[in-house]
Amino acid sequence: VTKIKKVDAWATLFKTFTRLHQKMEDSMKARDLPTLEIYDVLWTLEQATGHKLRFSDLGEKVYISRCHVTRISERLEKSGHIKRVPCEIDRRGVWAQLTSSGLALRKKMWGVYGQLIEEQFSSHLSEEEHRLLIKVLGQVKIEY
Amino acid sequence: VTKIKKVDAWATLFKTFTRLHQKMEDSMKARDLPTLEIYDVLWTLEQATGHKLRFSDLGEKVYISRCHVTRISERLEKSGHIKRVPCEIDRRGVWAQLTSSGLALRKKMWGVYGQLIEEQFSSHLSEEEHRLLIKVLGQVKIEY
DNA sequence: GAAGATTGATCGTTCAATCTTT
DNA sequence: AAAGATTGAACGATCAATCTTC
């Protein structure tokens, strides 16, 4: 058993993820589809009750800042994939409401994204290895 | 043994890495240090023979585009961390030459970065788990 | 005063076009 | 013509300041 450097595990994680992610973004763009970040936003809205979330909640779920949520929502509204709806309960807030066009886009994106995950990632791993990854990476809790 | 969804492994990888990375970038910025991408550039130059690489080679090693290399090098030269040296053998090319100030910055960054890797990542994993991650993630070969 | 969201300004990244050398 | 690098323009992200509502 040879002694390993712990930092090599981090380096491997860094490089593997970064290149995989880059490759997927490239493939999405090549098909004129939005980024995976946008996919995350659409998917998060779809899962929410009523297909809507307040900007602040949306931002927390997908880990992006307030003004970034505003800017992304701006574009998504322009393209008709969400609608901004004033929040009646708390008039400071704004709902991001997924439209049927937004739902369709999410599904269309999944057609490509899901295939990329299979081809570029899952196909290289056994079921046991999938399980292991979930377990090991799940142990990593970020401390603030 | 419960059946798992393969996509959950990808989702875990995605979220864990993204948040870890974000947290580290925040910590670097909080100490007025450059991004991890810049760290990668400096470290790659330091490892190269003569502490220098042509822009095109540098770009390939750190997986960034030509014009991105130009822009980053522009800033690194302004701050004195690299020098642009015309390539004599092939006059189309330009060397990025690490300066002593650049080397010092790389080391200073490592003081923080190395600690972050330990605190936020390695400390949550056993040695065996480190080894496993390297093996499993190493199997993932990106296809173009 | 604090929380939610927006805006103008700034900064960094990316695209397409360009220039030089091979 | 192709490879290496650069540049202006467009685009996207981020910061600080602002506005409204709680």
Q: pLDDT truncated to tens, each residue of chain B (144 aa)?
A: 667 889 999 999 999 999 999 999 999 999 999 999 999 999 999 999 999 999 999 999 999 999 999 999 999 999 999 999 999 999 999 999 999 999 999 999 999 999 999 999 999 999 999 999 999 999 999 888
Chain A: give the shortest CA distance to residue B31, in Å. 15
- Between CA B10 and CA A89 the distance in angstroms is 37
What are the residues facing A83 on neighbouring strands? Answer: A97
Q: In what order do the strands lie in the sheet with A94-98?
A: A52-54, A94-98, A82-86
B94 touches B84 (CB < 8 A): yes
Output the DSSP codes for A29-86.
HHTT---HHHHHHHHHHHHSGGGEEEHHHHHHHHT--HHHHHHHHHHHHHTTSEEEEE
- Between CA A20 and CA B142 the distance in angstroms is 6
- The whole-number pLDDT of residue B144 equals 81
Q: In what order do the strands lie in the sheet with B52-54?
A: B52-54, B94-98, B82-86
Confidence of residue A143 (pLDDT cuts 50, 70, 90): confident
Count of Cβ atoms closer than 10 Å to residue A65 Cβ: 9
Choose the mutation target among A40, A137, A139, A143 for the interface with B, i.e. most B CBs under 10 Å.
A137
Does the global pTM surpass 0.75?
yes
Total length of chain A = 144
Q: Span A47-67, mean pLDDT?
A: 97
A115 touches chain B (CB under 8 A): no
Q: Which of A115, A20, A129, A59 is nearest to B142 (CA)?
A: A20
Distance, Å, B131 CA → C13 C1': 35
A137 touches chain B (CB under 8 A): yes
